[in-house]
Amino acid sequence: MQGQLSEHPLAELIREIANAEISGALRLSRGRAKVVVYFDGGKLVFAASNLRPHRLREVARRNGISAEQLQTIAETSSETETATALLNAGVLTEQSLQNIRSNQVADVMRTAILWTDGDWEFDARVRITGEARVEVEINRLLHECARHLPFPFVKSRLQNSTGVFSVDSSKEIAGLSPIEEFIVSRTRLAPTALNLPDLIGNGLPEEEALRSVYALSLTGLLERSEWPVAFDADCLARAKSAKTRIDSATESKPAETSQKVGDVESFLARMDSATDHYEVLNISRSTSLGEIKSAYHLLARHFHPDRFHQRDPELRSRIEAAFARVAQAYEVLSDPMRRAEYDQRRVSKPIGETEKPVPAAPEPEVQPRANAQNSFRQGMEALNRKDYDEAIRFLAEAAILEPRQARYRAQYGYALMNRPKSGRAAEAELLAALMLEPNNAKFRVMLAEIYQSGGMRRRAENEASKALSIDPKNEKARALLESLRKK
C-alpha cells in the first residue's frame, strides 16, 4: 500500500487508519527527510524521524536537560541506548522519559503532518515495542493541522466534493473557533445533512469556512459522506489478516530479544539520508580512532545482519544493504591513511562528484518546538525585530501546544496582520482569545487594529470603545478611537 502525499496527505491517512482500526507502520519520505508513524488498532502510538532535531538527545535538551548532563551520555545510534543511559545516570526518571518521548513524537508529527508532497507506504507487518509507546492527542493534532496547511491545498481537498455533512453528536472537540462553532450549530440544526455550498454559504469568509469544515471533518465531529480513499477493501483485508497472524505468533512464541523495530526503522532512515562515512557512523569529523571503533561496534551489536536472519526477507535485505555502508565507512575511517585521503577527496572534489550531495535545505520548513512558552518567547523576539515569518511560525506553534492560552492566540493573530490575505485568520485568533478572556482591553485594541487595517472602520471603533469601557486609562485605545472618528 503506497502513494503520494499530494493525493493522500498524512492527516487523511491517519483518519482512515484510525477508522479502519488497523495496525502497522506508515513510512513517509520527503527528499532526505524520513518519518515512520506506528499504529496499533488504529491508535497512533509512536513516530520517529531521521532529522537531528527529532533525536532523543535533542528533544531532551529542548525539554530542560542541560548540556552538562547530556555530556555524560555517550553519543549512540540507538534511541533505546540513549534512553537507558539517561535513566541509569539518573538524568531522567521513567515518567520524565515518557514525557520527553511524548514531546518527541509530537515534534515529529507537527512536522510531517504539514507535508503536502512526498511519498507514503504502509506496512501492516511492522509493530513498535510496548515500552516505546506514547499517548497522542490525535484529534487536537488533526484539528490544528487544517489551520496551518496552505489554503490552496485545503481548498483542493474540498472543492470537488459532492458529498454531504452531518454532525456526530457523540464527539466533542475543545477550543473551537467562532466560525467552527457556527458551522457545527448550523449543521446540527439542519433537518437533513448539508452539502458544502449550504454549509459555508450566507456570507462566511471562504478561507476560514473551508479550513473549519476540513478540520471538523478530520476529527470526525463533522461526518463527511465522501472522502478520498487510500486503502481499498483488499488492502484493509490484508492489513487485518496480517494483524491476526502477528497476534497469533506473539501468543505462541516467546518474545524476541533482537533489536526493537522502532530503532531499526530509525537506523534505516538515517542510513538513507547519510551523505558521507561520518554520518553513516553517526560521528563528527574530529572523532578519535578509539571512538570510531566504539561507534562501529555499537552499530554491529544492534544492526549486524546476522541478528535479523529470522526476520522477513525484505527487512533483512534492507539491513544487509545498510550495514554494508557501515562496514565500508569503518574500513576507511579506521585506517589513518585512508581516512586522510578520504577527507582530502571530500574537500577537493566538486559537489557533483561527492558520494551524495547535501541539499541546501535538507530539513522541512517547520522546526519542532516542544515547549509552548519557549515557542512564544521566540515568536515575540522575532516580532520585535520585525521578522514576521519567523514570528508567525513560532507563535503558531505556541497556539497549537496551548490553545487555551489566550495571549498565545492573541499574539499569533496580531502577527498574522503582517501577512497578506491573512486578515480573516488574524480576526479568528483574536476572537478566540477574547472568548477566553472577554474583558481583556489589550486584546480588544489588537482586534480594533486588525479591523482598521482591513478597512472596517465601524468595527474598529466598536472594539476600541469596548477597550476603553473596560480600561478607561488605556491610552492606545483612546488614541486609536480618536483617530478613527476623525476620518
For the ranges 41-55, 175-189, 284-298, which has the lowest average pLDDT? 284-298
Q: Is 341 a residue whose pLDDT tops 50?
A: yes
**Percentage of the residues of the chain whose pLDDT score is greater than 70:** 85
pLDDT at 243: 55
C-alpha cell at 394: 513560532
Q: Are 147 and 214 in contact (CB under 8 A)?
A: no
Q: Could you tell me the fold of the domain covering 372-486?
A: 1.25.40
pLDDT at 55: 84
pLDDT at 401: 65
Q: Are 295 and 283 in contact (CB under 8 A)?
A: yes
The DSSP 8-state label assigned to residue 353 in this structure reads G
Q: How many CB atoms lie within 10 A of CB 29?
A: 19
**Percentage of the residues of the chain whose pLDDT score is greater than 90:** 13
* Residue 237 Cα distances to 7, 133, 243, 249, 255, angstroms: 22, 25, 10, 18, 26
Most confident of 22-36, 232-246, 418-432: 22-36
Domain 276-357 = CATH 1.10.287.110: yes
Per-residue confidence at 254, pLDDT binned at 50, 70, 90? very low
- Which run of H or of E encompasses 166? strand 164-167
Domain boundaries, the chain: 1-136+229-252, 158-224, 276-357, 372-486
State which CATH number among 1.20.1740, 1.10.10, 1.10.150, 1.10.1740 fits the domain covering 158-224. 1.10.10
- Cα(73)–Cα(71) distance, integer angstroms: 5
Per-residue confidence at 447, pLDDT binned at 50, 70, 90? very high
Going by C-alpha positions, the residue among 73, 69, 80, 70 that lies closest to residue 46 is 80
Per-residue confidence at 320, pLDDT binned at 50, 70, 90? confident
Going by C-alpha positions, the residue among 150, 158, 162 that lies closest to residue 213 is 158
Most confident of 46-60, 350-364, 414-428: 46-60
